[in-house]
Structure 1
Amino acid sequence: MDESTTRIPADAALERPAPAAAWPPRVPRSAHDARIGVRVVDALDAAARLLEWDLWEGDDGEHEDTVALVEVARSVVAERIRAGADLERAHLVALCDLLVTLEDLRRELRDNEVDERLRALTGVQAGLGRLRGIASVSTILDLAPQEVCRSCGFDRAILFRVQNSQLIAEAVHWENDPDGAATLLQVARENPADLTHMLLETEMIRRRIPMLVADAKGDPRVHRTIADAADTHSYVAAPIMPEGRVIGFLHADRYLQQRDVDEFDREMLWAFAEGFGYAFERTVLTERMRAQRDQVRSMVQSTEQLMNELCDTEIAVSHVEGEDSAGVGRAAAMLASGPSRLDQLLTRREVEVIKLMAAGETNAGIASRLVISEGTVKSHAKHILRKLRAANRAEAVSRYLRISALGDQQ
């Protein structure tokens, strides 16, 4: 509130205030708040009568800061008492009683204001606590506007992200109107705002502060397309900057309540935006760590599978080395003369096949090297296993290499 709506000069006429119910409240009023409002109006009416004022000075009788009005009235009454040496006793007593009443009201309003802020901050903390438990970036972005309304008492909220010097709408919440929210989100996404020097958000990026737009219809700094689509009269906006760099914005208003936002709304949104920035950063880090964990887990599984395959091969070779020595001895004795006896046991083509098998070639590779079909390779491999008394290819290769080694030693 500017100074003109709170200053009450002693020699000026005062404009009579509107009923308390018409005063724009900062947050939804409780029954206790309404009772205080009635008492404030009664006290200000009494001040007007005792000080012989005809009108209350103000803006069409609407005052947002009740505490300031009571404070000004209390100051004026106190000054009149100090300067009222010629006042009648009854009038002076009435002024003194009024001063006590105004002082009590001022103290009660201050206490009530502190309680309001504590309740609001408690709600903000509760909302942020619910968001901190979310592990998905897309989910926390979708739910942020809803939590803004739930914890701060707004009717609508929009979450924007800053990307390539543009303001991109990410999520919208509109109390009890999901269709309206979807329409507004579509309009905002189809009309991203360029962060030029004329835009309100550009100033917030530069100054790192939240702002209150009191006249969204006439303020040239707002994004006109989005403001017209939302049909908002006033709103508050706060930057999201977890590490000092602005990464997005939250906008909110009280559209359904049909009242303008005030400084208290701006402070609450600012508190939420600050906490949300850290919650969002935590979620981003958690999601990245989860992705890295899954990647490491996949690598470990692949390594484990490879190790299992190597171990299985080693076990097969060990089985060959530990089998009946008499059988191996007979095979070795039968092929004691080395490669010449191997040539007698296996055909020339089978020798070529077993050599390529020992070199690690697959059936397809052997077929390509020898210019034969894979079926022929399989047939040769079957004969080789039978002739070398091997159970599988690995065992046949092992026996071939041992027999070849014996031939080299001779």
Structure 2
Amino acid sequence: MNSASAGRAGHALSDLDRQLRALLDLPPASEPMSLQSVLRDARHTTEFAVRVDSRTAVVDATLISRSLSLQLTLHKFFVERRTATMQALPSSLRRLSGVDDRTMTRVLCEELVSTAGFGRAVFSGVCDGALRPTHQATATGDGVESIEFAGDLRVEVAEDSAEQTCITTAGGPRRVESADADPRMAELLATRAYAVAPVLMSSSVSAVVHVVPAAPLAIDDDDLRCLGAYQGAASAAFSRDVWSDIAIAHHAAVRRAAETIVEDASRVTADDFDIGAEVPSEVHPPPLAVPAVNLQIENCLTSRETEVMRLIAQGLSNAEIADRLFIGIETVKSHVKKVLRKIGAVNRSEAISLYLDKG
């Protein structure tokens, strides 16, 4: 069953519920805002109907039966929708992790619509406490429409809004209701009922993602859990790029330092030393640069793992480490995996960055 068929079933269930409530002298339900609210109201009505005296129950048996049948149909729709999303989620997250940060925002929005089933997704960078929307994806009859916002679009975050809480607390996805919705974001999203999640870069909030449910649905707990999976994947991808940049910077700094040492040593050897000549007492050899040792990391490693970590930090490959330590390359790989796991790194570049950054 697709969303359109589920919507028609929801309308039929809402009509039946109004009839049942009238026969049972119940006050009319509030105007339904989503399929979930229609299903919830109908369930309460039928539960009340089966508790009343037998004469009323017999009179309303047909209506109750039809209502229960439609409730079951909608339950199946939600289960099938949830199952399809969970089955497609791993592949979607892999696609997300395989793109660079220049296309990450667009792909993230498109995956939230095409795979997670949201009606709209908007990615916004965070700059000086304000939001700068950059990309939007919207569900259409033909698939997904993706647009890029103009660079000068800026949304000043309202105080006490869900967006401000999201930026300052850096928690998980939040379901937003009318009272705490940011007015300008609500205008951009064309609704005051949506969800928002922060995207972390290292430990700070660098962006937020807004999602709007696909009509006639509302955002439920399953949607929040799904959004949380994308939030984690996006945060990991952006943080990975940051650590890669740090590692590259460290490598460049080490390379420049090594080149300087070699140049100084060559100059000293060529200009200052004369074999057999006396060295003036006031001349002292330059102090040797000692690589920084990261005791915080090494304290959680074995002696062999410490040797491997130091050689990794020097840029040696697995084969070179095996030659240096006179062990097999498979043994080296095993030590590398243990080191990465113990220090919380996902790859060698991040391990080097962590080691040098804290050394």
TM-score relative to the length of structure 2: 0.54
For residues 232 and 78 of structure 1, the distance between their equivalents in structure 2, rounded to whole angstroms, comes to: 40
User: Compared with structure 1, are the counterparts of its residues 296 and 246 closer, same or farther at alpha carbon in structure 2 (3 Å cutoff)?
Assistant: closer
For residues 63 and 132 of structure 1, the distance between their equivalents in structure 2, rounded to whole angstroms, comes to: 33
Provide the secondary structure at the position in 2 that maps to 1:187. coil
Contact 2:189 2:212 in 1 (8 A): no
For residues 123 and 253 of structure 1, the distance between their equivalents in structure 2, rounded to whole angstroms, comes to: 20
User: Compared with structure 1, are the counterparts of its residues 245 and 73 closer, same or farther at alpha carbon in structure 2 (3 Å cutoff)?
Assistant: same
For residues 223 and 38 of structure 1, the distance between their equivalents in structure 2, rounded to whole angstroms, comes to: 30
For residues 43 and 227 of structure 1, the distance between their equivalents in structure 2, rounded to whole angstroms, comes to: 33
Partner of 2:91: 126
Partner of 2:148: 181
For residues 260 and 37 of structure 1, the distance between their equivalents in structure 2, rounded to whole angstroms, comes to: 10
For residues 126 and 201 of structure 1, the distance between their equivalents in structure 2, rounded to whole angstroms, comes to: 29
Contact 2:201 2:242 in 1 (8 A): no
Contact 1:149 1:156 in 2 (8 A): yes
Structure number with larger C-alpha Rg = 1
Partner of 2:107: 143
Question: Structure 1, residues 307-339: CA drift from partner, whole Å, max 9, x if none?
Answer: xxx9xxxxxxxxxxxxxxxxxxxxxxxxxxxxx
For residues 141 and 42 of structure 1, the distance between their equivalents in structure 2, rounded to whole angstroms, comes to: 42
Percentage of identical aligned residues: 16
Shift of 1:120: 3.0
Contact 2:34 2:216 in 1 (8 A): no
**Equivalence map 1:217-236=2 (5 Å):** 222=182, 224=184, 228=187, 230=188, 232-234=190-192, 235-236=194-195
How many residue pairs are counted as aligned between the two chains?
A: 261
Partner of 1:373: none
Partner of 1:114: 79
For residues 283 and 187 of structure 1, the distance between their equivalents in structure 2, rounded to whole angstroms, comes to: 25
Partner of 1:330: none
Question: Structure 1, residues 251-288: CA drift from partner, whole Å, max 9, x if none?
Answer: 2336xx77785346555434422332223333443455
Provide the secondary structure at the position in 2 that maps to 1:112. helix
Shift of 1:40: 2.8
**Equivalence map 1:51-200=2 (5 Å):** 51=23, 53=25, 57-60=28-31, 62=33, 64=35, 65-80=37-52, 83-84=53-54, 87=55, 92-96=57-61, 98-99=63-64, 101-134=66-99, 136-163=100-127, 165-169=128-132, 171-175=134-138, 181-183=148-150, 185-188=151-154, 193=156, 197-200=159-162
User: Compared with structure 1, are the counterparts of its residues 126 and 169 closer, same or farther at alpha carbon in structure 2 (3 Å cutoff)?
Assistant: farther
**Equivalence map 1:298-377=2 (5 Å):** none
User: Compared with structure 1, are the counterparts of its residues 289 and 150 closer, same or farther at alpha carbon in structure 2 (3 Å cutoff)?
Assistant: farther
For residues 133 and 126 of structure 1, the distance between their equivalents in structure 2, rounded to whole angstroms, comes to: 11
AA of the residue aligned to 2:47 = S
Shift of 1:203: 1.8
AA of the residue aligned to 2:233 = G
Contact 1:155 1:253 in 2 (8 A): yes
Unaligned runs of 5+ in 1: 1-26, 311-355, 360-410
User: Compared with structure 1, are the counterparts of its residues 52 and 75 closer, same or farther at alpha carbon in structure 2 (3 Å cutoff)?
Assistant: closer
Unaligned runs of 5+ in 2: 139-143, 275-359
Shift of 1:250: 0.7
Provide the secondary structure at the position in 2 that maps to 1:248. strand
Provide the secondary structure at the position in 1 that maps to 2:121. strand
